[in-house]
Amino acid sequence: MRILLVAATENEVQSLKSLVKSQNKEARVGYQDLDLKTFDFELLITGVGMVATAFALGKHLANNQYDLVVNLGIAGSFDRSISIGEVVEITQDTLAELGAEDGDDFLPIGELGFGEDTFFPSTKLANLYNLFNNFNLKKATAITVNTVHGDQGSIEKATTRLNPQLESMEGAAFFYACRQMNVPCIQIRAVSNYVEKRNRDNWNIGVAIKNLNTFAAEFLTLYA
């Protein structure tokens, strides 16, 4: 089983870097008790944003084959029922800005007849040999944006039009690249902040990254 872990930045998967690069159990800093079934997995850092993600992932998949590709990252949440630091499985992701303005209205690219804007994972945790039912991750829908929301007016427009739960800068592009290359994929996000007027004092990137990496390490013990 070959698995590719994909993240936008090294910081989001910092704890996993030693695990992925290590070829012996003693060297896995922070994960000395892991019992991996195989070492056949890799980590790809794409850079931030949908353009960087689609290019880097598409280029990599053109020259490498995997049984599963997993997108790991942090996200902002529109949904206050999702806790800061909570790890969720994305079931749908939309390119929120791909389309045209028509006065106060927005016309998505699908309505314009030029393509698609919404993408889905090709599998889900529960389907992976039924190993992951014990994780019981909350499911969430997401949007992918070039500009993260930080203005109440734009937040209200996005929630009215798309009713998303989370937002990231890469997720839908990840799904698109995987679909184009016909590789099974899932997207896992940890919430670092709520979508509101920008206030980093309310963010907790540290706990989101910690919980994301803990999930990923446990995932690899079961599936890698």
Q: What is the pLDDT of residues 87-143, one digit of tens each?
A: 999 999 999 999 999 998 899 898 999 999 999 999 988 887 555 456 789 999 999
Predicted pLDDT at 28 = 35
pLDDT of residue 134: 60
Instruction: Specify the pLDDT at position 25.
Output: 41
Determine the length of the chain: 224
Q: What is the pLDDT of residue 33?
A: 44
According to the model, what pLDDT value does residue 130 have? Answer: 58
pLDDT score at 164: 96
Q: Which residues of the chain have pLDDT under 50?
A: 23-37, 132
- Between the alpha carbon of residue 100 and those of residues 1, 106, 114, 164, the distances in Å are 42, 6, 11, 19
**pLDDT attached to residue 224:** 56
**pLDDT of 23:** 37
The DSSP secondary-structure symbol of 83 reads P
What local confidence, expressed as pLDDT, does residue 31 receive?
A: 38
pLDDT value at residue 193: 96
pLDDT at 44: 93
**Structure confidence at residue 27 (pLDDT):** 33
3-class SS letters over 117-183: CEECCCCCHHHCCCCCCCCCCEEEEEEECCCCCCCHHHHHHHHHHHCCCEEECCHHHHHHHHHHCCC
Token digits for 131?
């190993």
